[in-house]
A and B are shown apart, each in its own frame.
Chain A
């Protein structure tokens, strides 16, 4: 039987992570249907219909879904769940918000944050902030699954022509109201999805010195991260925190500067493809997981790093 995937979008364009979720869904079952619920979101349905892995698009265009309130969205998903064995969404703040409501309504136990699909009922998911991987088998008849987008390749975007079926809106409870959304306007990429992350720790010694980190981040078009110690010391705001109690990041390149490598930090970044550690303490635990370690005083090394980067003709963006 087929999979119903809930698309994430902004009523105009599909969010890129939905493509990763589509490829995860296709590993559960080839019959992937995608629900696009929003307001004035026909262009999104067209975009989804062009994805070759998608077999059918369900479009629910109603003011009820303009801001994806979980109280409104979950009943719509539940109402359309009958014909599906699996309900799938990205394990980001969009999917995490509404999916458990669907699971509760269907009396099914959700499998969160799947990083590998072994079979339609067996999945691998990280626990303890990625310090262990659990293989789990869902014995529910209907399964609600959220998938970690960065663990799956994005599905190709063009070449398909899936049928678009309109579906009716569901009743809404009217007990919650969207007020506003303030998207972080930063010149830098978002920490959770950046290709490169440059993080600073306690070794920076002050908030002012974080400029050494941001200069390099800007040069590399990277996001800026921090250890909990740096956040606790007030060097930088805690939305930059990488670690078990902060954000989990999986960039192509992670540069840890003045970070000793406490367990709680490692849990948030150790799946990065390439890890660089710059630390004056050669015994720091961060070196044990770094691909490239530089034992040096960061106050000397960072300006040098910047000038070496400036010498390069090209830098990948």
Chain B
């Protein structure tokens, strides 16, 4: 079997983002970038399935500017076999991303597509579900346990009320929760080896899909700042403030 795993380059989760003064977005120049955290879980799970012997090949794909390739390299360094970089210079909405991924799926014919449940930049939580719908495949979102069977997968999903178990026939789309696994670190020898693994390049605009954005970003602003609070001297004062001033207990 074969897995396609999609990875996205985003601002590192530990970076305090800064909103641009003109409201056009957030500063990305000289800001540390990394792979979207749940995409690392998607890669890890794909590699684990390969190590179990059930999966023969793991192909990592990213869509984005030149440097987005780093995310594919990282996936290669932890065990993916080869990469695909679909070049795109500007932001593409999940709808357009799903259309591009559908093209890649049609070419690669994987049995499963793994993605992170959500990207931590635009926080849309759409791409996997949209791709599944476009392919007319089943989906398992927020996955925290994956059991691969011959023609299906049994998946435990994180839902608001607790856990849900579903079985989806293959081929299927899986979006990964952070609880799915513990992504490994790439060892230095594997990072060196990954440099030799092939990354196929293509351009988003050559794929013959409509990737024009439909949602216009009018303004990006900082959330309202919290007003400065006070320090209390002791626990008794804290409890009294919570009871009588804030009236929350």
Instruction: List residues of chain A with CB under 8 Å of any chain B CB.
Output: 69-71, 74, 92-94, 96-105, 107-113, 122, 125-140, 173, 175-184, 190, 192, 196, 220, 238-239, 241, 244-246, 252-253, 262-264, 270-271, 273-276, 282, 287-296, 301, 304-305, 308-309, 312, 315-316
Contacts and interface: CB of A to CB of B under 8 A. Distances in A.
A104 B8 CA distance: 20
Nearest to B10: A128
Interface string B74-98: 0000000000000000000111001
Given A138-B214, A312-B249, A239 B179 contact: yes
B162 A103 contact: no
Interface string B211-233: 00111111111110010111110
B100 interface: no
A109 B215 contact: yes
Nearest to A181: B164
Contacts of B126: 99-100, 103, 110, 112
30 contacts: A74-B133, A96-B141, A99-B129, A101-B129, A104-B129, A122-B218, A131-B223, A133-B220, A134-B217, A137-B216, A139-B215, A176-B138, A176-B139, A176-B166, A177-B166, A179-B165, A180-B164, A182-B163, A182-B164, A184-B163, A245-B37, A246-B178, A263-B15, A292-B229, A292-B230, A292-B246, A293-B231, A301-B235, A308-B236, A316-B249
B164 A220 contact: no
B30 interface: no
B209 to A, nearest CB: 11
A181 B159 contact: yes
Contact of A112 (B124, B165, B216): B124
B182 to A, nearest CB: 10
A263 B166 CA distance: 35
B193 to A, nearest CB: 28
Prevailing SS type, chain A contact patch: mixed
A128 B166 CA distance: 30
In the complex, the 8 A-B pairs of residues with the closest C-beta atoms, listed nearest first: A100-B129, A104-B133, A109-B214, A184-B162, A176-B138, A101-B133, A291-B229, A104-B130
Nearest to B124: A112
A112 B157 CA distance: 20
Nearest to A134: B220
A139 B154 CA distance: 39
